[in-house]
Amino acid sequence: MWNGTENIIMENKIICVVGLGYVGLPLAVEFSKFFEVIGFDIDKRKIENLKKGIDENWEIKKEKLISSNILYTDNPKDIKKANFIIICVPTPVNNAKKPDLSYLKKASEIVGKYLSRNSIVIYESTVYPGCTEEICIPILERCSNLKYKKDFKVGYSPERINPGDKEHTIDKIVKIVAGCDEDTTEEIAKVYGKIIKAGIYKAPDIKTAEAAKVIENIQRDLNIALMNELSIIFNKLGINTKEVLKAAGTKWNFHKYYPGLVGGHCIPVDPYYLAYKAEEIGYYPEIILAGRRINENMPKYVANLAIKGLNKKGVVLKGSKVLIIGLTFKENVRDYRNSKVKDLIEELREYEIEILGCDPLLDNETVEKVFGVKNYKFEEVNQVDAIVVVHLHECMKNISLEELKNKISEIPVLVDIKNVFDKGEMINKGFLYYSL
């Protein structure tokens, strides 16, 4: 039976991180500075690459991976060596926009099967309030034949990593922790406290920590939805949204959000998790889902801007060529999960427009498989009828207006989603220019 005297001594902690993606890998590397770490993932190719010091996401340098004290493994039996297990697996939604907990359930089954007595299991995946206790813990008990709170403990500590952000690194973001009881919360706080310089926030219970995480992205989603709706209105009024936001931003309490395509694994997903739970308890979340509807519709709106430009240029839509620059869900990351560029491409294809992709962070095989288009280097692109700039990675920031103009036949049409270029300068250069 578990008691206070059996708490694992800090020096004897063996940490296992389950899931070595954007969240799990940086976590494993940081913990390896202080503890023995096991990095487990079911992806054999990923494990082999990590052993060679290759991070497929380009987030962590080779030297750092090789020098880290991490046992990279795809053998679930290695989990049994650990007494502090952190689960970092994806929690997407299905085609019906309902939570897809298959990865979470599978990870829980694997961990449960090899769970050692007196271990602590911490979940970092974003879920709805109650998921850890209602879904995950019963699986751990069933697969381990151990008793929750008697033989093992559980906690929740939501990930807050921002892919591609070199300023807000894992150690500089306050870490929320919550355990199934006060002692477990303290134990989890001590372990994470070794790597988090920004501080630890102890939530009163697991449900509170789960809710805190899910609303972070809901708040951002709603604010971007507001900016997107304002952008549509201002466009119809002939007002430059960028200039409006610049003017409004001079007030001290104006929150700076910008319009755009909302992709990635978190922001367009998390609202559906809370909405699912809300509907389960009999409440329909109108504002949350209204924000989602606006953001989900933006690829169609952007496609219409491109079509408007092509029509004004006088080209036949069928067979015309449009180059899309930036295919990942945000600039300077290789993550293409839930990239709304895929929806944008589908919208343009409704008019039988030929689409060319351009993203130096992705290989052609990936682009063809995920987006259904060929991936070109910018210098390889010949004459197209219009260009849509979704975003420019750092390695593309030196592209000039003249270079863009030379890629477009006759009257240059440019849709600039992130307002990268100056509208006045674009118009002076003869562009038919559209932006959010």
CATH of region 297-435: 3.40.50.720
Cα-flanking dihedrals φ and ψ of residue 152, to 5°? -150, 160
Q: Amino acid identity, residue 43?
A: D
Band (160; pLDDT cuts 50, 70, 90): confident
Residue 332 CA: distances (Å) to CA of 99, 246, 335, 352, 388:
28, 24, 9, 30, 17
Say whether 297-435 and 4-205 share the same fold: yes
Catalytic residue among 88, 266, 358, 395: 266
Mean pLDDT within 53-78 = 89
pLDDT digits (tens, 9 = 90+) for 387-431: 999 999 999 988 988 999 999 998 999 999 999 998 889 999 999
Rounded to the nearest 10°, the torsion over CA 179, 181, 187, 192 is 20
Fold of 4-205: Rossmann fold (3.40.50)
Domain ranges of the chain: 4-205, 214-287, 297-435
pLDDT digits (tens, 9 = 90+) for 277-320: 999 999 999 999 999 999 999 999 999 999 999 999 999 999 99
Band (6; pLDDT cuts 50, 70, 90): very low
Look up the pTM and report it: 0.92
Percent of the chain with pLDDT strictly greater than 70: 97
Which residues is 72 bridged to in the sheet? 39
Structure tokens, 331: 């600039």
pLDDT digits (tens, 9 = 90+) for 248-262: 999 999 999 999 999
For residue 167, the model assigns a pLDDT of 77
For residues 196 and 171, the answer to whether their CB atoms sit within 8 Å is yes
pLDDT digits (tens, 9 = 90+) for 68-119: 889 999 999 999 999 999 999 999 999 999 999 999 999 999 999 999 999 9
Cα-flanking dihedrals φ and ψ of residue 242, to 5°? -60, -40
Gap between the Cα atoms of 189 and 204, Å rounded: 13
Active site residue 16: no
Asked whether residue 218 carries a pLDDT value surpassing 90, the answer given is yes
Mean pLDDT within 48-60 = 88
Gap between the Cα atoms of 403 and 383, Å rounded: 11
Gap between the Cα atoms of 143 and 79, Å rounded: 14
Task: Give the side-chain half-sphere CA count within 13 A for 434.
Answer: 23
Asked whether residue 51 carries a pLDDT value surpassing 70, the answer given is yes
Task: Give the side-chain half-sphere CA count within 13 A for 141.
Answer: 13
Gap between the Cα atoms of 3 and 182, Å rounded: 12
Mean pLDDT within 352-380 = 96
For residues 180 and 154, the answer to whether their CB atoms sit within 8 Å is yes
Parallel/antiparallel/unpaired status of strands 152-156 and 175-179: antiparallel
For residue 1, the model assigns a pLDDT of 37
For the chain, what is the radius of gyration of the CA atoms?
24
For residue 5, the model assigns a pLDDT of 38
Mean pLDDT within 180-184 = 97
For residue 166, the model assigns a pLDDT of 73
Question: In the predicted model, what is the mean pLDDT of the chain?
Answer: 93
For residue 10, the model assigns a pLDDT of 62
Is the model more confident about 116 or about 2? 116
Gap between the Cα atoms of 16 and 71, Å rounded: 9
Fold of 214-287: N-(1-d-carboxylethyl)-l-norvaline Dehydrogenase; domain 2 (1.10.1040)
Closest by CA position to 196, among listed 213, 172, 178: 172
Asked whether residue 3 carries a pLDDT value surpassing 50, the answer given is no
pLDDT digits (tens, 9 = 90+) for 119-136: 999 999 999 999 999 999
Those residues whose C-beta lies under 8 Å from the C-beta of residue 178, and which sit 6 or more positions away, are: 155, 156, 157, 185, 188, 202, 203, 204, 205, 206, 208, 209
For residue 2, the model assigns a pLDDT of 41
